[in-house]
Structure 1
Amino acid sequence: MYLNGYGLNSIAKILNQEGVKSPAYYQKKLFGKNLGYNKPEIGRRYLWDNTGVKRILQNEFYIGTVVNHKTYNNKITHIRKNIPENEQYRHEKIVPAIISKDKWEHVQFIMSDKVKRNVRAGSNKPCHRYAGLIKCGCGSSFVCKTRNWRDFPERIEYVCNGYHRYGKENCSPHRINEMILDELIYKEILAVKDSAIENYNSIEADVKKVDEAKEQCWK
């Protein structure tokens, strides 16, 4: 599918629509292996995402090669680090291949070429003020999108990344206008300000009562 022009997201959506379970399902069924606590909710429902598709397309196991000693855990910091390729252990033709090496290398070339030709972000891009701060009920974060219509001013919206990346199998399409968020935040700040002033006045009144009581005692 990838060699025929389908992207990672498109492949994932087709697999989900056809009811194909993700690798996490078989890891659980065959080996009793559970997903990590930091994995997205879509994985717990055994649905495909672009990361899962990409991981398979880049895995040399499917051409019969097993690579060991790729990472190690630091015994002091307990941080996992990658090991350089020239220090890894490669075992070619150790398992039956299900695709040819030429096809696998063709896929790797297309993936690396897309990265070179398709720059998605630059260092001069603005940092949107609510990016990474809003979460959807599905567990995914909201990402910022800039909308442009003819004869209308540019509009900044935040959309559910779960729907944006995985489609309707994970969440429903919904968005929030940044101007509406600004208004809500402004109202909340005013409410906090009014509450702070009210608390301050209350404390001032209590202090005044204490001072008056002390003065009365001296008298």
Structure 2
Amino acid sequence: MQKRSKPGKIGAMVQALGAAIVRGEITSGTVLPPEFELAERYGAGRSVVREAVKILTAKGLLSVRPRHGTQVRPLHEWTLLDPDVLGWMRNEDGLDRHLLLALEETRAIIEPEAAALAAARATPDDLARIRAALTAMEADQNTPQAAIAADKRFHLAILDATNNPILRSFRGAIDAILSAMFDFTVDVFAGNLANHAAVLDAIAAGDADAARAAMRQVLGYTRHHMLSSPALAGGEDPRKSESGETS
């Protein structure tokens, strides 16, 4: 058997311990065993355990404090937009309904305003990248993986076109959100292409209000499909009021 390199061992340790925490096998508030016990349990060297703990601490899953040991943090302190953390939260049915809706809600806060800013600030190069991504989406609409990659490029190109360094820093978060949602939206991908084209047209025309509205149409289409998906049926929509209306 080929021996794993140290980075490979660290990655395996991060994966095993991170997944155990995220899936509730090691509960919030638990103080982890000492380093040497973790090394024995996971068949790893102590330096591997130490590096894995550092990585999981950076992802918000663990805290390390003198005299308190290494403790599992509560879910609300996790870096939920980290691709690894989202990946560990997936089960055979995908992500939890409420988490998916929270991710969609986050997009709804960021992306319409990003589209409006892009309409005001996009350079010719920015527009060319958005247009190229839409062209690829249309060409690859029947090839799921290529279509997904093009859709990501479209949305990330709009963030870049805001020419706002803070919004641009959301690229990783939006990428992770899109990856989490595509399981539920890729089968209706083609039906949302016209809405994406409307976003591009509004940005190219410099019409911020139209760009904002068009992006809301894109996200509304996605949300409607998610809520009607049998895989997500049975849970309450957290944005519904007692009267049954969506706010």
Considering the TM-score relative to the shorter chain, is it more than 0.5? no
Bigger Rg, structure 1 or 2: 1
After TM superposition, the score normalised by the length of structure 2 is 0.22
The structure in which a higher percent of residues are strand is: 1
